[in-house]
Structure 1
Amino acid sequence: MVYVLNQDGQPIMPTRNHAKVRVLLKNGKAKVINRCPFTIQLLYPCDNQTQSISLGVDAGSKHIGISATTKGDSTGARVLYEADVTLRNDIVELLSTRRENRRARRNRKIRYRKPRFDNRRRKDGWLAPSVQNKVNTHLTVVANACKILPVTKIVVETASFNLQKLKADLEGLKRPEGIEYQQGEQLGFWNIREYVLFRDGHTCQCCKGKSKDKILNVHHIQSRKTGGDAPNNLITLCETCHTGYHKGLVKLPESIKRNKPLKDATFMGIMRWAFYNKVKEIYVPQGIDVHMTYGYITKNTRIKNGLPKEHYIDARCISNYPEAIHPWNKTEVYYQKKVRCHNRQIHKMSIHKGGVRKLNQAEYLVKGYRLFDRVQYQGKEYFVFGRRKSGFFDIRTLDGEKVNKGSISYKKLKLLEISKGFLTERKVVA
């Protein structure tokens, strides 16, 4: 499928006539705008005839499914574009690392700096950076589809989760009912530490009081950097066991482990209205209808039509045309991966001999290449995952599979497309 823009840069219906596209490019009547998905722009006036296109969006916390379908002609509904997008999940760890570096730097340079944690005010509608990044990625994915197709309708699937009921099922407790939803587990306690000590009976969960140490500490099962201060990540330990554990002298019982976190369910509860309202705000003034659907409707539609469980197939069901077929009955899917666009950390934390800090990253351009550029090597397309000043690069596929064990010289590579924040690979599934 080749996606087409008119002379003014507005999307019109895509074409399957690849021979005509080659002729237009050869005669200078069209130019290539994007390589994957392959998009051209016409350089002469044309009839801007379009059809009604429905864009289904399967929102998620790790993957986004997207499918654009049209009713088509007498042969039935057609799939015009489908993609499976993998989101970033490293924002929390990167921000935690930056916070550690900032505090260490302040302690080194301005040891007695006055506290300044009460002079900030968050704007209305503020979202955590990890959530905001995923919401922005959802909006970008929808915008990219609307740039290459004349979409007339957008259907978004959102999901709401009962976190208290899910948590009760994981811990084997009674499900809350009625007013119990307003009475959380920490009701009546001053802080989390007081609740954890009470929950554990003020007894060390490692030695069960055999050490006779009366001083109790609250220990993070997972590091606070990744696990947070949630009660299910905290356990009571006496100071003897706590100190011994961090020195590597004490091993905690295997029964002490954190229950499955509900990060994905929490994210969907936070982002669903923020994403849906933003889509309405952007596309309704453009004359595009925006609607919402729910997961149970999508599941019923998929099972009724006997379709497999995939993110892009769920999006096809959301678009209201689950029976839509691909051209030539070959399922063509674009697998995309969101990557970071910038890295502003200047130096690494490790200090070498002589007090020299090593630079954290290479220059912006190395031999004319950026990180995550699309390149060609031995007739196949890859992405630049690592660069060295010597000109030897680490190139890989979208899945992260290396081409070979060693690096490859830039002289053997051909630049196809500069990095745009998304790694895109076209695959024919069937």
Structure 2
Amino acid sequence: MVYVLNQNGQPLMPTENHAKVRILLKSKKAKVIKKCPFTIQLLYSSTNYTQEISLGVDSGSKHIGLSATTKNKVLFESDVELRNDIVDLLSTRRQNRRTRRNHKTRYRKPRFDNRKRTDGWLAPSVQNKVDSHLTVIRKVHEILPISKIIVEVASFDIRKIKNPLISGTYYQQGEQLGFWNIREYVLFRDGHTCQCCKGKSKDKILNVHHIESRHTGGDAPNNLITLCETCHTGYHKGFVKLPKTIKRGMSFRDATFVGIMRWAFYNKLKELYPNVSLTYGYITKNTRIENGLLKDHYIDARCISGNPLAVSDGIVYYQKKVRCHNRQIHKNTILKGGIKKRNQASYEVMGFRLFDKVKWKGQNCFIFGRRSTGRMDLRLLDGTKVNASVGYKNLKMLEMRKNMLIELRKVV
């Protein structure tokens, strides 16, 4: 499938007539705009005839499914992987900032009261997902004349998931009802007994321990457990191991993300595009099962678009959102002699940057690691290893890195 823009840069209907495309490029009547997906722009005036194209969007916390279809044919399908490292990175930045301030301004009073948030403020991790949804939809509009957008949103009743029998006023009575704080609740829940030694240490001092670090796991009750002082200290020093039965409870992070971002995303989308509508997951599931389709993000998006039986050419684009910059100067681990190793690599190594798209031995891949000697770690976009050490002279640059990487895949 070759995507076509008119002389003014507006999208036209794509074509599968590759011979005509070659003739247009050879006769200088068209030029290449993008290589993936392959897009050309006509250099002469043409008709602007288009058909009705529906774009289905399967929104999510980790993946986005996209499918642009007519009644009979699939014109574009994509599976987009979103970033999920922002919470961890922000926690690391907060930890470094507080350590640095504690060294220099130990006695300064806290200044949290003068931080005001604007209306409609979203946490950075949620805002990034909303922006990524809008970005991938905008990029589809750049190559196809989309007529309407149908978005699937999800609504999760987390209290109902935890307790299927809940109803009425019990929604207002959380599991911590009647307790002063989380610590008091966790101690009561565990019977004021160490969950590691079950009281064998005879240590009466009890601590509340994070199963996953607070850095990423937070202070949710299902991430906390009661340990005595002896077991708690021994665990952090490395000579006490917790029983294998101690695991964090079910995490509802993804459900919370989707619940927060769905209306922010939908309302922003309506501001940008005229014809936007909603659908729900149970409708998508019913459509997919009735038509005997497999479960996948882009197939769900095809069902959302309203044309589940549209014929695909077997090409699906896999996209991945990556971070733009890394501003942390030093690593947290201090080497011998009090030396801090730099966390930032050179901007370019032998003319190549991280996540540049290159060709090696006829295979398209991405640079996932670089060495100052010019040896590159090549992988596919999903992390599949191609070669861990290839000399830069053996590589051909295809495309400089972007914050949204894209790779073509054929689905059988």
TM-score range, shorter chain: over 0.9
| Aligned counterpart for 2:226 among listed residues 215, 231, 236 | 236
Q: Distance in 2 between matches of 1:207 and 1:388?
A: 48
Residue 341, structure 1, aligned to residue 324, structure 2? yes
Cα RMSD of the aligned pairs, angstroms, is: 1.5
Deviations 1:318-355 (A, max 9, x none): 000111002xxx31111111111111112222334554
Q: Distance in 2 between matches of 1:160 and 1:393?
A: 44
Residue 81, structure 1, aligned to residue 90, structure 2? no
In structure 2, the residue matched to 1:294 is 280
Read off the aligned partner of 1:410 and give its amino acid letter: Y
| Aligned counterpart for 2:307 among listed residues 300, 312, 321 | 321
Q: Distance in 1 between matches of 2:277 and 2:57?
A: 10
Q: Distance in 2 between matches of 1:168 and 1:363?
A: 52
> How has the CA–CA distance of structure 1 residues 400 and 253 changed in structure 2, closer, same or farther, with 3 Å as cutoff?
closer
Q: Distance in 2 between matches of 1:132 and 1:254?
A: 36
Residue 192, structure 1, aligned to residue 182, structure 2? yes
Cα drift, residue 182 of structure 1: 0.8
Residue 9, structure 1, aligned to residue 4, structure 2? no
Q: Distance in 2 between matches of 1:383 and 1:233?
A: 37
Correspondence 1:30-429 to 2 at 5 A: 30-71=30-71, 77-168=72-163, 175-284=165-274, 289-326=275-312, 330-353=313-336, 355-405=338-388, 407-429=389-411
Read off the aligned partner of 2:25 and give its amino acid letter: L
SS in 2 for 1:16: coil
Deviations 1:158-180 (A, max 9, x none): 010110111226xxxxx211110
SS in 2 for 1:11: coil
> How has the CA–CA distance of structure 1 residues 242 and 352 changed in structure 2, closer, same or farther, with 3 Å as cutoff?
closer
Q: Give ranges in structure 1 of 5+ residues lacking alignment.
A: 72-76, 170-174
Read off the aligned partner of 1:390 and give its amino acid letter: T
Cα drift, residue 111 of structure 1: 2.7
SS in 2 for 1:333: strand
Are the equivalent residues in 1 in contact too, given 2:355–2:366 (CA < 8 A)? Answer: yes
> How has the CA–CA distance of structure 1 residues 253 and 393 changed in structure 2, closer, same or farther, with 3 Å as cutoff?
closer
User: Identical aligned pairs, as a percentage?
Assistant: 72
> How has the CA–CA distance of structure 1 residues 213 and 117 changed in structure 2, closer, same or farther, with 3 Å as cutoff?
same
SS in 2 for 1:260: coil
SS in 2 for 1:20: helix
Are the equivalent residues in 1 in contact too, given 2:359–2:397 (CA < 8 A)? Answer: yes
Cα drift, residue 254 of structure 1: 2.8
Q: Give ranges in structure 2 of 5+ residues lacking alignment.
A: none
> How has the CA–CA distance of structure 1 residues 47 and 59 changed in structure 2, closer, same or farther, with 3 Å as cutoff?
same
SS in 2 for 1:15: coil
Cα drift, residue 184 of structure 1: 0.7
Read off the aligned partner of 2:409 and give its amino acid letter: K
> How has the CA–CA distance of structure 1 residues 414 and 307 changed in structure 2, closer, same or farther, with 3 Å as cutoff?
same
Q: Distance in 1 between matches of 2:223 and 2:262?
A: 26
The TM-score normalised by the length of structure 1 is 0.92
Read off the aligned partner of 2:170 and give its amino acid letter: E
> How has the CA–CA distance of structure 1 residues 108 and 210 changed in structure 2, closer, same or farther, with 3 Å as cutoff?
same
Q: Distance in 2 between matches of 1:361 and 1:19?
A: 47
Q: Distance in 1 between matches of 2:67 and 2:409?
A: 15
Cα drift, residue 112 of structure 1: 2.6
Read off the aligned partner of 1:21 and give its amino acid letter: V
SS in 2 for 1:336: strand
> How has the CA–CA distance of structure 1 residues 229 and 42 changed in structure 2, closer, same or farther, with 3 Å as cutoff?
same
Q: Distance in 1 between matches of 2:384 and 2:194?
A: 46
In structure 2, the residue matched to 1:74 is none
> How has the CA–CA distance of structure 1 residues 31 and 88 changed in structure 2, closer, same or farther, with 3 Å as cutoff?
same
147-156 vs 97-106, greater mean Cα deviation: 97-106
Q: Distance in 2 between matches of 1:397 and 1:255?
A: 37
Q: Distance in 1 between matches of 2:203 and 2:339?
A: 45
Q: Distance in 1 between matches of 2:350 and 2:67?
A: 38
Q: Distance in 2 between matches of 1:163 and 1:351?
A: 42
The TM-score normalised by the length of structure 2 is 0.96
Q: Runs of 4 or more off by more than 6 Å in structure 1?
A: none
Q: Distance in 1 between matches of 2:173 and 2:333?
A: 47
Deviations 1:380-402 (A, max 9, x none): 21111112232222121112222
Read off the aligned partner of 1:346 and give its amino acid letter: I
Q: Distance in 1 between matches of 2:379 and 2:357?
A: 10
In structure 1, the residue matched to 2:24 is 24
Read off the aligned partner of 1:216 and give its amino acid letter: L
SS in 1 for 2:331: strand
SS in 1 for 2:73: strand
Aligned positions, number? 412
Cα drift, residue 43 of structure 1: 1.3
Q: Distance in 2 between matches of 1:219 and 1:392?
A: 44
Are the equivalent residues in 1 in contact too, given 2:222–2:250 (CA < 8 A)? Answer: no
